[in-house]
Structure 1
Amino acid sequence: MQQIRLSDWLVKNKLVHRSLGFDYKGIESLQIKAQDWDSIAIILYVYGYNYLRSQCAYDVIPGGFLASVYHLTRIQYGIEKPEEVCIKIFSPRNNPKIPSSFWIWRSADFQERESYDMFGISYENHPRLKRILMPESWIGWPLRKDYITPNFYEIQDAH
């Protein structure tokens, strides 16, 4: 029930979004435009969504959009009744750019870096956006559906 109020609250305050429905736990997913993410993220934080439970990314379809996903939690009525929302931001794969939420939720640091490393989504204004899992010299974005796996692997010196 709380999730419906969030969507209604966003509509009432003229904040552009699109409801993507509810998951099996009743958590609403909202689609936000990349250019609106900065302001909506701040508003959600002030509204009480001060805990970033997770951030991840996925490739929607080969050749299509990439998605950055933020799971936010608001604990207003006690730990037994957390309010959660899932925010999805879609970006074109040829130049995927999304404002970083690092300055609002510091826990986004490594999570956005992993999404950058695996999918190539550039999180604008992130303080240390660089590869975190793959070597800096790695070419391509390994978790994209159109990624072509090299037929060789270099064994690097572990020392």
Structure 2
Amino acid sequence: MADEQEQLAQTAAPIVEAGKTSKWLTENGFDHEFLGRDASGVEVLKVDRDFLVPIATALYANGFNCLQCQGAYDAGPGQDLVSFYHLIKISDDADRPDEVRVKVFLPRENPSVPSVYWIWKAADWQERESYDMYGIVYEGHPNLKRILMPEDWVGWPLRKDYISPDFYELQDAY
């Protein structure tokens, strides 16, 4: 019996303690899920699309004054699309700034999420690129249109279920 309990304890997943930012959000009543830390030790938080703006606003008020990167990825054919935000606290007295990554998982059928442009202006072109490549609609963005592909391009080229057209038509090449 003791051997079975010891084996079970060894195979059970280790308990991961929530990070400083996740604890702060929980203490202040913001609903989210702590996903652990990435390879660099950065906290990763899962946020529901409906709570992105309130949580982003709270994080900004808590000192996360820089949107270092916004991007997206496709979790696989038939799976969710993910919009992510890498935030840092820039201050004069920090040797290493606090960092946090926020992820919003979106259904493929209607991938829309509120824009954070009004909190961090750096989201402007980054959200446009995520829209252009994955088809994620950033509601409230002031100029959401294609940035890399031609305006009349059909489809979202970085989705894993994207089928490339058989031909490309050059228009006004010269």
> Deviation string for 1:112-158 (max 9, x for gaps)?
00000000000000000000001110000000000011010112224
* Partner residue in 2 for 1:93: 108
Q: CA deviation at 1:80?
A: 2.2
- Going by fraction, where is strand more abundant, 1 or 2? 1
Q: Which amino acid aligns with 1:102?
A: Y
Partner-residue secondary structure (3-state), 2:23 = helix
Distance change >3 Å, CA 21–CA 137, structure 1 → 2:
same
> Deviation string for 1:33-65 (max 9, x for gaps)?
000001111111011001000001000111111
1:43 lines up with 2:55 in the alignment: no
How do residues 5-84 of structure 1 correspond to structure 2 at under 5 angstroms? 5-76=20-91, 78-84=93-99
Q: CA deviation at 1:5?
A: 1.4
Match of 2:132 among 107, 117, 130: 117
Q: Which amino acid aligns with 2:107?
A: P
Q: CA deviation at 1:78?
A: 2.7
Q: CA RMSD in A?
A: 1.3
Q: Give runs of ≥4 in structure 1 deviating > 2 Å.
A: 75-80
> Deviation string for 1:74-107 (max 9, x for gaps)?
1346352200000000110100010000000001
Greater relative contact order (Cα < 8 A, sep 6+): 1
Give the whole-Å Cα distance in 2 for the aligned partners of 1:89 and 1:158. Answer: 39
Which entry has the higher C-alpha Rg, 1 or 2? Answer: 2
TM-score of the aligned structures, taking structure 1 as reference length: 0.95
Point out the more displaced range, 25-34 or 73-82. 73-82
Aligned residue-pair number: 157
Could you tell me which runs of 5 or more consecutive residues in structure 2 were left unpaired when the two chains were aligned: 1-17
